[in-house]
Amino acid sequence: MSGQGFHVHGPHDHELEHAAQGGHDSGGMIAQIAVVTAIIATVGALFSYQGGATQANAGLYKNNAAIKKTEAANQWSFFQAKSTKQALAEFARDLAPDDKKLSYQVKIDRYEKEKNEIKVGAEKLETESSNWEKSSDEQMHQHHRWAQATTVLQVSIALAAIALLTRKKWLEYGMFALAGVGLVMGALAALHI
């Protein structure tokens, strides 16, 4: 019957028209919280991605450390085998007749040289393992920072929803404060602090 100029408004229609015309302060609050929430969610998604990337790197680096540690252990076993052979050659040299002592001494000298080369390689592998381990620890620390920042931003988004439902201004301020804390934590993660 609106063709004859008669139109009935429901209570919610009146509120929506009033808010659209700027009649309610809460209309501005709703729009502001909606925009900020979308921004916080976007930043939170970026932080979450960074957190996942650093966690993956930490696992990869930890794996590399384990590989280098295993290679070093293999080299130390090889070193020990050469040491045992050298000790046996020294024992044989000491018990051998004088005409055979020189051949055992040649073996002893060769084992000593080989042991030194193996030791250098094993120590290098241990250093590489330690470096990978350190890199893994740094990535895990950074991952925790990203995770903390993401969590604070998620709480901020939850607070935004509560602020929208209750229309409490102090909750809106709390949302902004938590979003700021989350951004600071994200900056700390980006700076490796």
- The domain locations on the chain are 31-190
Nearest Cα to 62, choosing from 116, 113, 136?
136
The pTM assigned to this predicted structure is 0.71
Share of the chain above pLDDT 90, in %: 74
Which residues lie below 8 Å from residue 124, measured CB to CB, with a gap of 6+? none
* Helices marked H in the chain: 11-20, 25-95, 98-166, 169-190
What is the distance between the alpha carbons of residues 24 and 30, in angstroms, rounded to a whole number?
Answer: 10
User: Could you give the angle at which helices 98-166 and 169-190 cross, rounded to 10 degrees?
Assistant: 160
> What pLDDT score does 116 carry?
95
pLDDT at residue 3 is higher than 90: no
Residue-level pLDDT at 166: 87
pLDDT digits (tens, 9 = 90+) for 21-33: 544 455 577 888 8
Residues 133 and 157: their CA atoms lie apart, in Å, by 36
pLDDT band at 165 (very low <50, low <70, confident <90, very high): confident
pLDDT, residue 17, reads: 57
pLDDT 10s digits, 114-163: 999 999 999 999 999 999 999 999 999 999 999 999 999 999 999 999 98
For residue 51 the two structure tokens come to: 């957190």
Mean confidence (pLDDT) of the chain: 87
Task: Find the radius of gyration of the CA atoms of the chain.
Answer: 35
Q: How confident is the model over 46-105, as pLDDT tens digits?
A: 999 999 999 999 999 999 999 999 999 999 999 999 999 999 999 999 999 999 999 999
The pLDDT of residue 169 is above 60: yes
